[in-house]
Amino acid sequence: MPSEQLDVVIVGAGFAGIGAAIQLKRLGFRDFVLLDREDDLGGTWYVNHYPGLAVDVPTTTYSYFFEPNPNWSRLFSTGTEIKKYADDVADKYDVRRHIRFNTTVESARWDEDASLWRVALAGGDTLSARYLITATGFLSQPRLPDIKGIADFAGKIVHTTEWDDNYNPAGERVAVIGTGATAVQLIPELAKSAADLTVYQRTPIWVAPKLDFHFSDRAKRLFSRLPWTQRAIRAITDTIYELMINVGVVHYNVPLFRRLNISAMDLCKINQFLQIRDKELRRRLTPDYDIGCKRPTFSNSYFRTFTKPHVHLQSDGIDHIATDGIVNSDGTKTVIDTLVLATGFDLWEANFPAIEVVGRQGRNLGKWWRETRFQAYQGVSMPYFPNYLSLASPYAFLGLNFFNTMEYQMRLMDRLFGEVKRRGASTFEVTEEANTAYLDRMTELLGDSLWTLGNCASSRSYYFNPKGEPSLLRPMSTQDAIEEASEFPLSDYRIA
Ligand code: NAP
C-alpha cells in the first residue's frame, strides 16, 4: 500500500506538539498530523492523574505566552485544570482534528532520494512527510525499578503514571518507592486514608514552602476583561523563576549568587523545621547536595506527613521485595498490600530519542549521541538530520518552566520555516560548524554553573547524562534563548 504523504508529521500531542501545530498553522501549513500513542491529548497532563497532582510552577507562568488563561482557580493549579487548558487551547486553535490517537510511532528514516521522512507506525503502516517534528517530552517513559523480587510481589503494584482512579488506599498498608516531585505530591494524599504508609527514600529532595492562593471570581473577571493584569502577575512569577535558575544555578561562579543558593537551602530547612520537631528525622530528610543539582519542589504538607504515627520513612535501602512486602537492608520486613512506584522516568536511555530516528547517510540519532556527545543546535537541530526538529533534545529545556522552552522553539520555527518558504526551498539542515560552535558554547557556559562547580555528586539527578555531563538544561536566560531563536544567523542552516 503506498504511504500517505503529508507536509509535516508531529510526534506527540502534549503541550509541545500542540504548540508546534499552532505555529505550523500560523505559517500556513494545513497538511500535517500529530500522532500520539495515547487516546487523548495533553501528554504528561493526560497520562498523570495520581492524587495530589498539581503543577509546581505558578500557572500564570506555566501557560503559553500567547494564551493566558483567566480561569485558573489558583496560583499552582491542579492537574485536572491543566489538562482542561490543553483541551481548550487545542480546540481554540483547531488542532484536535489533526491529531491521530492510539498511534504509536516506531521509527523515522530520511529517504534521501525522495527528500522525505518515512515514518513507521506500530502495526505496519507508514507515513511520509517533508518535515518531521518530534515533541515526545522529556519525562514520558516511566522508569520501573529493577529491584530483586519485584515480579513476585503478590499485592497491587502501580507506577504513578498508571494510577487507578478506583483505587482506595483506605485501611491498606502502602509503600511508596521514590521521593521526587511526584512522591512529594502523592504521599500527603495517601497518608490521609492509608492505614500504614512507608516511604522508601534513596535520595532526599529539597522542598521549599509553596506560596499558593486561590484566584477569586473578581480576580478572574479582571484577568478576563483586562488581560494585562494577568500578564503583570506573569511578569512577577516569570522573574522569580528566572532568578531562581539564573542566579542560583547558571551563574554559580558569582560568589554573591552562591550565597543566594545557600539561602534557598536555608529556606527549605526552615520549611522542614516548622513541620518536624524530631531532629533525627529532619536530618534524614535533608539532602547532602546543593539545591538545583536536581529539580527541587514545593510543598507545605510533605514534611508534616512524616510526623504522623502511621507514616514511616525508610532510608536505609531495600534488599529485595518478597511476595508480601519489602525486605529492608537491615533484614526487617515491611508487610504491605500495595506498592506504589513513584520512581520517575527514564530520560536518557529511553527518551533520547524516544523513537528510532535515522538521518542522512544512515546516521542513527541515538547511536550518534552516544558515540559522540549529546548535542543539538539551539536544542532542536542536528547535522545529518534534514527537515527535522527534535523539541525534546539535549540543551533544549530552559530552566524550570516548560512553556519558556516552547516559546523559544516556536519562535525558532517561525524564523526557520519562514525563511524556507521565503526562498521557495524544500530542505533545511544545520551545518556541522554551527552545531559544533553551539555545543562548545553550551559546554563553556556550563563551566560557570552549579552543575559543574557545585556539590552534585550524590544527587542522582536526571539533569546529568549517563556520562556525567549536565547536558539536559540550556544554561541561559529565557530572554537570551528567545533572542537567539529569533535572530540566529540563517547561514547556520543549509537551506536548499
Ligand atoms: P524523579 O524526580 O526522577 O524521582 C524518582 C524517585 O524515585 C527518586 O526519589 C529516585 O531516587 C527514586 N527511585 C528511582 N528508582 C529507584 C530505585 N530503584 N530504588 C529506590 N528509589 C528509586 O521522578 P518524579 O518524582 O516522577 O518527578 C519527575 C519530574 O516530573 C520532576 O522533576 C518534575 O520536573 C516533574 N514533575 C512535575 C510536577 C509538577 O507539578 N509540574 C509534578 C510531578 C513531577 P534517586 O533520586 O535516588 O534516583
**Would the CB of 321 count as within 6 Å of ligand 1?**
no
> 182 CA to middle of ligand 1, Å?
6
Same domain assignment for residues 400 and 302: no
Question: Which runs of consecutive H residues, i.e. helices, occur in 172-288?
Answer: 181-193, 217-225, 227-245, 255-275, 279-284
> 56 CA to middle of ligand 1, Å?
14
Same domain assignment for residues 316 and 365: no
User: Residues with Cβ < 8 Å from 185, sequence gap 6 or more?
Assistant: 50, 52, 53, 54, 299
Residue 17: what pLDDT? 98
Of 325, 341, 357, which marks where a domain is finished? 341
Of 341, 359, 386, which marks where a domain is finished? 341
Residue for grid cell 547556520: 492
**Would the CB of 179 count as within 6 Å of ligand 1?**
yes
Same domain assignment for residues 330 and 274: yes
> 74 CA to middle of ligand 1, Å?
24
Cell of 349: 536511555
User: Residues with Cβ < 8 Å from 229, sequence gap 6 or more?
Assistant: 222, 223
Counts for the chain of helices (H) and strands (E), in that order: 15, 20
Of 290, 310, 341, which marks where a domain is finished? 341
39, part of any domain: yes
Residue 1: what pLDDT? 58
Residue of 202, 206, 463 to mutate, ligand 1, most atoms within 8 A of C-beta: 202
Nearest to 310 by CA among 165, 175, 158, 154: 175
> 345 CA to middle of ligand 1, Å?
7
Domain containing 281 equals: 150-211+238-341
> 342 CA to middle of ligand 1, Å?
6
Query: Rounded to the nearest 5°, which phi and psi values hold at 26?
Result: -60, -30
What CATH number does the domain containing 404 carry?
Answer: 3.50.50.60
Note the residue count of the chain.
496
231, part of any domain: no
Residue 446: what pLDDT? 96
Tell me the whole-structure pTM to 2 decimals. 0.96
pLDDT for 376-417, tens place per residue?
Answer: 999 999 999 999 999 999 999 987 789 999 999 999 999 999
Q: Which atom of ligand 1 is nearest to the CA of 461?
A: 46
User: What span, in angstroms and rounded, lies between the C-alpha atoms of 77 and 221?
Assistant: 17
Same domain assignment for residues 396 and 436: yes
220, part of any domain: no
2 to each of 77, 100, 106, 128, 396, how far by Cα in Å?
A: 46, 19, 18, 10, 35
Same domain assignment for residues 186 and 320: yes
Same domain assignment for residues 300 and 376: no
225, part of any domain: no
Q: Which atom of ligand 1 is nearest to the CA of 147?
A: 18
Same domain assignment for residues 172 and 99: no
Same domain assignment for residues 315 and 375: no
Residue 3: what pLDDT? 80
Low-confidence ranges of the chain (pLDDT < 70): 1-2
Number of independent structural domains in the chain: 2
Residue 2: what pLDDT? 66
Q: Which atom of ligand 1 is nearest to the CA of 295?
A: 32
> 179 CA to middle of ligand 1, Å?
6
Same domain assignment for residues 179 and 310: yes
